[in-house]
Amino acid sequence: MPADRFAEQLNAQIGNEFAAHNQYVAIAVHYDALTMPQMAAFFYGQALEEREHALMMVQYLLDTDAIVTIPGVEAPVSMFEDIVSPVELALAQEKRVTGQINALLKTAREESDFASEQFMQWFIKEQVEEVATMADLLAVVDRNREDISNIEEYVAREHAAEAADPMAPRVAGA
């Protein structure tokens, strides 16, 4: 069983991951409404990824006989002034989640909760990738704010469907 403090923080993180899911759906809808299908598909995909992260955490708690609580989440930002601001928000969100994941790993270490520390390693790697992806996307969107077709081409080229990570934790319900 994970340390109580870790389990409590992981339950809170489940809410953070579902909030990130909702935020990415709102961003996807924004791009869908602007008839930017590649950007919309990218963010719908990001939303599903965040949902999976939450369910990986649920599965870990279930596997370790810890109590699972699903926190409520605030409504996402759904109105954006332009095509750049949603990606700026996404990058800020990924940086915030990175801090949350790092705090979870720190707690596991402080509690000598080795299984939980091992569980968090995959998320550390994932956050490095997520921040880099959003930083690159922001650079492209900012540079091409007047040429939507360049943005769409970039996303289609650089973010084609990727294979599932065989090292990823199990997803609850999968």
- Asked whether residue 5 carries a pLDDT value surpassing 90, the answer given is yes
Is-contact 104 10, C-beta < 8 A? yes
Identify whether the C-beta of residue 46 lies closer than 8 Å to the C-beta of residue 22: no
Q: Note whether 116 and 57 are within 8 A (CB).
A: no
Share of the chain above pLDDT 70, in %: 98
User: What distance in Å separates the CA atoms of residue 131 and residue 71, rounded to the nearest whole number?
Assistant: 25
The answer to whether residue 26 scores a pLDDT higher than 90 is yes
| Mean pLDDT within 113-125 | 97
CA distance linking residue 118 with residue 160, whole number of Å: 30
Which tens digits make up the pLDDT trace of 81-99?
999 999 999 999 999 999 9
* Class of CATH domain 4-158: mainly alpha
CA distance 167 to 156: 26
Q: Map residue 105 onto helix, strand or coil.
A: helix
Percent of the chain scoring above 90 in pLDDT: 90
